[in-house]
Amino acid sequence: MKRAVQVSNIVLCVLALLVARVGAQEPKPPVTPPVEAQKNPKDDTTKPKDDGKKPKDDSKKDANANGEAMNIDPTEMSDKLKNAVNPPAPTKTIVPRAPVLPAIPEIVLKAFVEAEGKPPAAMLSINGKTQMTVSEGSEISVQGSDHQYLTLKVKKVARDGVEIEIVQLKQTIHVK
């Protein structure tokens, strides 16, 4: 019996809470906006006062440039969203290229000459076409395989080979 009274008290409390909640959520009557006073061009009282504060700009959201309300279609993408989905083609940037370096010609040591009283000399074949005799300090100009000219400076002539500096490339090669 005690148990039945406790259950009925709980049920009554729950019902009372529901009634209180439903009563608190009664619909409110719609609020009608106040009727704006008609502006008289001679009357300055209808103009807003300038208190130094900037007015809030809500025209971007729901009005166009004329102040008229806009109809916004929620199914159409905005310009920002269109650019995010399909970004515009990137502009081409011109990257300066490194200068094309001339190719090193094929150099073959054909002969080494060592005569009394004279500095050592070597006979070189360049690209299989030109044969030249060189000694230490000689400078020669040759056409590379890509039709660009190179300046070769002979640094050392010895029995084991010839040391040649390619001036444009700032490289030293050893021909044996």
Per-residue HEC secondary structure of the chain comes to: CHHHHHHHHHHHHHHHHHHHHHHHCCCCCCCCCCCCCCCCCCCCCCCCCCCCCCCCCCHHHHECCCCCECCCCCCCCCHHHHHHHCCCCCCCCCCCCCCCCCCCCCEEEEEEECCCCCCCEEEEEECCCEEEEEECCCEEEEECCCCCEEEEEEEEEECCEEEEEECCCCEEEEEC
Residue 136 lies in a domain: yes
**Residue 58: which pLDDT band, with cuts at 50, 70 and 90?**
very low
Which residue segment(s) compose the domain that 141 sits in? Answer: 107-175
Residue 53 lies in a domain: no
Residue 168 lies in a domain: yes
Of 29-33, 61-65, 94-98, 126-130, the one with minimum mean pLDDT is: 61-65
Residue 148 lies in a domain: yes
Q: How far apart are the first and last CA of the chain?
A: 119
Of 17-26, 107-116, 125-134, 152-161, the one with minimum mean pLDDT is: 17-26
The number of domains in the chain is: 1
Residue 156 lies in a domain: yes
Residue 112 lies in a domain: yes
- How much is the CA Rg of the chain, to the nearest whole Å? 48
Average pLDDT over residues 93-115: 85
Q: In what side-by-side order are the strands of the sheet with 171-175?
A: 139-143, 149-158, 161-166, 171-175
Residues in the chain: 176
Residue 153 lies in a domain: yes
Residue 123 lies in a domain: yes
Average pLDDT over the chain, rounded to an integer: 77
Count of CB atoms situated within 10 Å of the CB of 152? 23
- How large a percentage of the chain has pLDDT more than 90? 29
Task: Indicate whether this model's pTM tops 0.75.
Answer: no
